[in-house]
Structure 1
Amino acid sequence: MKIYRRGVKLDLSIAVVVMFLLLLHMTGMMYKRELHQLFNEEVNISKRGFRRFRSSEIVDKEDETSKVPSEVAEGPAGTKTDHIPAYNMFHQRITKDAMYEPSAFYIFNLLDELATGEISNVSLFPGGSQIKFKIHFKNGNVAIAKPKRHDRGRYWAYDQSEPFWLDNERHNAEIASFHLDRILNFRRVPPCVGRIVNFRKEILPNTKDEEILSTLYINNGNFCFIGNCVPWFCNDNNPICSEGDFMEMSLCVLVYPSVEHPFQDRPFPWSQGIVESEIWKERNICTEMLVDPEITMGRFFLDLMDLAVFDHLIQNYDRHHFTIVVRFNVESFVVIVDNGKGFGNPWKDDTSFLAPIYQCCRIRNSTYQTLLDLSTDGSKLGNLLRLSLSQDPLAPVITEIFFATLERRLGQVLREIDKCIENYGNGEVLVDKVVVI
């Protein structure tokens, strides 16, 4: 089933951006064939998989493909996979290096399943400080959903009047983070898409969660509930509310939903927590990190450098731990999850997020080259993210000012790396593996 977005006229400069984005992230042959359709004088963007929609338009798509092998089963390369739903193919192809490969043809289908799939059960997801839904789909997929709390133009001050620890999570930040991660070619954020659900028809008939139902009320035609989370986020003054019957939310794939403990969290050495940050703000902790086998074994250390770049771009103060996939143990990549507190203020640039970079002066050469590419005309980070996000059902996902903000922050990252290169040389700074001291 192919669903089309409305047509968009592209000029030549945007066509170049389209080509770059497609070549960078969709290098499979099926997408190369689609290039010929993209570069006419007037171009209709016809992305596979989703458009802006009302959830009441959903058609029952259950068929014989609903019964599938376990999501953790291996999927050998080259085997016939036409009958396997996208969410199963996604789980089969997670590797120790990334959530999905650069040419993952099934990602658009997976996003479509999240954006249009029939919901079968809804409950509150336990853990964390704020409200999240756990949503089961009729085809077996499972997602973590975060509801809209504020309008796009509500920015957080990050000062004494609005400290970062009181910042609400933003559903649109989760969506934008997934797209940004793809453009950076990290591929460590679980796939995430926006959706407008019909709260009356899709949520209420499919939930028996008393923490939703017992706090539910109607206010000016909107469905509202308090739920259960930490009291400064879940209280009478901060309800979760629909707009009429409809509620915006982000839906991110719940990775390995049938595994009891699929991930392991470890303390992030450069946490922005008030107490934790006192340590690394008072002294350079990198020498301690480079003699810690828990950090230097496998790919953890250089993944943490990438994570610093990512968190600086989105300004995410909520990174207290880094996460690995248990089944890969010390060979696992660092999973980038819980990005809902990013994209909070386009004018405030806190360069302390770059402490891992300027304290350690080491970063993957491939990451550096990607950042350089994204800073050049014709492949600007902001342009690529704008184009990528334009295909989400909730577009515009973030306000326009953030695209220039990301390019400014990218320049800050590159300047810090260049200072390191000037002081220590390319060979010491741009590395493919950690040199333990």
Structure 2
Amino acid sequence: MSSSSSFPSESRFKFHIHPIKNIDYRQIWEKFNQTINDESIYRPTTDVDEIIYALRRSKIVKVDLYSPSTFSAYKWMIVLEGGQHVLFKPALINKTVKASVNCVSGCEHPEYEIAGFALNRLFGLRNMPYTTGRRVSWDQEIAPVATEVLKKSVTVREDGDICIVWTCYLEYESRYCFEKGIIYGALVYWIGNKTVVQRVADKASWHHEYHAMGDFLANFSSILPGNRTYCDQFRKREPYSDMVSFGYILDMAAIDFLMLNYDGGKHTYIANRNDTIRLNILIDYGLSFCDRNDPILLAPIYQCCRIRKKLYKSLLKYSANLTEAFDETTKDDPLYPLLLPMDLTVIQQRLNTIITIIEICFKKYGEMGVLL
């Protein structure tokens, strides 16, 4: 199965920089940084639209090529007015459904980062960095404050177009070309500015842990809810013996399944001064929406027959209208539409699959035995 589509041509848009005077962006960043704690990145009462607006409109004061680079995405590190750092990933012009064989390879689609944040926000998880699309002018915003290293990574053509060639995983060459020097991509809030953040590379998502246990096919029994044999083994491993960390694994399983994200092996945590892991931050959703369904991503939920009550209520809330709610939440994003029609259809189907599994678990263990 394959499908393709293109984002609207940049020539459709008239690009103007509208400076906003008398805004203290440093104060804005400090206010939102103070909401980050060991339970969430922002509180339920936080006006997320305020910071999204600031991310889209604040002045860019410095741009450098992000290092260390990855094999899947070309990235910039941008400093905004007021000192806030953000990661910027230019978006591919032509968007296509990722083939099954390329689920964890090839170039990222940064618009999926924005889609991931939108879903995370709808479900009230509040553990994904603020992410939004933004269009920037090479001549007016980037070139005057860019490092020489970054300037050498792009080609400025005589017609004013900007082109970037990036080889993903040393195999898939991708060419980014932006008309009239207007570059668009995903802007990801860098929460490490004043927060203790710990990257734990060896604590991967459930399916990675599953492979690490060895004898994968023998362990992976038929897909029936409530086979807690492996779940019980997993719960003995740190940090998952802690109910809070275990809850984050269940949340991540739902989001990874909805987006078919196979890149979930990269965990980042907010830790306290004793290095005790408290908040699992969901990042890196550029390699999502593969053209296949894989139930292994749901293993924590259907094998443990557990889910957080809060997430379950959110799933029920959108059981009939997730695609409409997603569209409403993202329609003002500069990269809209973020997903192909096929992607929108499958996330609704996958959401209802999760609900069906939980209903089977209720029959076996009762609500008290399933909901955390």
CA shift for structure 1 position 227: 6.3
CA distance in 2 between counterparts of 1:273 and 1:173 reads 24
Question: Any conservation in 2 of the 1:225–1:239 contact (CA below 8 Å)?
Answer: yes
Instruction: After superposition, give the CA deviation of every residue in 1:27-81 in whole Å (9 maximum; x if it has no partner).
Output: xxxxxxxxxxxxxxxxxxxxxxxxx976532315365x35x5xxxxxxxxxxxxx
1:59 pairs, out of 10, 16, 19, with: 19
CA distance in 2 between counterparts of 1:166 and 1:273 reads 20
2:162 pairs, out of 188, 206, 223, with: 223
Equivalent residue of 1:287, what SS? helix
Residue number in structure 1 paired with 2:289: 343
How many residues are matched?
347
Return the letter of the residue paired with 2:343: F
Equivalent residue of 1:56, what SS? coil
CA distance in 2 between counterparts of 1:421 and 1:274 reads 25
CA shift for structure 1 position 230: 5.0
Question: Any conservation in 2 of the 1:299–1:331 contact (CA below 8 Å)?
Answer: no
- Larger RCO: 1 or 2 (CA < 8 Å, sep 6+): 2
CA shift for structure 1 position 226: 3.9
CA distance in 2 between counterparts of 1:55 and 1:119 reads 16
Instruction: After superposition, give the CA deviation of every residue in 1:66-117 in whole Å (9 maximum; x if it has no partner).
Output: 5x5xxxxxxxxxxxxxxx31x2211101122111112212x21211111111
1:333 pairs, out of 254, 279, 296, with: 279
Question: Which residues of structure 2 form unaligned runs of 5+?
Answer: 1-11, 221-229
CA distance in 2 between counterparts of 1:200 and 1:344 reads 36
Question: Any conservation in 2 of the 1:270–1:277 contact (CA below 8 Å)?
Answer: no
Residue number in structure 2 paired with 1:158: 100
CA distance in 2 between counterparts of 1:242 and 1:289 reads 47
Q: Does 2:197 align with 1:262?
A: yes
The TM-score, its normalising length taken from structure 2, stands at 0.84
1:287 pairs, out of 232, 243, 255, with: 232
Residue number in structure 2 paired with 1:375: 319
CA distance in 2 between counterparts of 1:225 and 1:304 reads 37
CA distance in 2 between counterparts of 1:55 and 1:192 reads 21
Question: Which residues of structure 1 form unaligned runs of 5+?
Answer: 1-51, 69-83, 432-437
| CA spacing shift, 1:294–1:273, aligned 2, 3 Å | closer
| CA spacing shift, 1:98–1:219, aligned 2, 3 Å | same
CA shift for structure 1 position 169: 0.9
Q: Does 2:178 align with 1:242?
A: yes
| CA spacing shift, 1:272–1:220, aligned 2, 3 Å | farther
CA distance in 2 between counterparts of 1:275 and 1:207 reads 43
Residue number in structure 2 paired with 1:200: 139
CA distance in 2 between counterparts of 1:289 and 1:315 reads 22
Residue number in structure 1 paired with 2:30: 88
1:310 pairs, out of 237, 255, 259, with: 255
| CA spacing shift, 1:132–1:327, aligned 2, 3 Å | farther
Q: How big is the alpha-carbon RMSD for the aligned residues of Structure 1 and Structure 2?
A: 2.7
1:183 pairs, out of 107, 118, 122, with: 122
The TM-score, its normalising length taken from structure 1, stands at 0.72
Q: Which has the higher strand share?
A: 2
CA distance in 2 between counterparts of 1:419 and 1:220 reads 62
Residue number in structure 1 paired with 2:80: 137
CA distance in 2 between counterparts of 1:280 and 1:185 reads 33
Equivalent residue of 1:323, what SS? strand
CA distance in 1 between counterparts of 2:217 and 2:124 reads 30
CA distance in 1 between counterparts of 2:30 and 2:42 reads 12
Instruction: After superposition, give the CA deviation of every residue in 1:197-229 in whole Å (9 maximum; x if it has no partner).
Output: 11232222221142x333432457422234697
Question: Any conservation in 1 of the 2:132–2:186 contact (CA below 8 Å)?
Answer: yes
Question: Any conservation in 2 of the 1:122–1:134 contact (CA below 8 Å)?
Answer: yes
Question: Any conservation in 1 of the 2:61–2:81 contact (CA below 8 Å)?
Answer: yes
CA shift for structure 1 position 278: 6.2
Residue number in structure 2 paired with 1:21: none
Instruction: After superposition, give the CA deviation of every residue in 1:303-342 in whole Å (9 maximum; x if it has no partner).
Output: 1011000000011111113221123743522111111112
Question: Any conservation in 2 of the 1:383–1:403 contact (CA below 8 Å)?
Answer: no
Q: Percent identity?
A: 23
Question: Any conservation in 1 of the 2:74–2:166 contact (CA below 8 Å)?
Answer: yes
Residue number in structure 1 paired with 2:45: 103
1:386 pairs, out of 327, 352, 355, with: 327
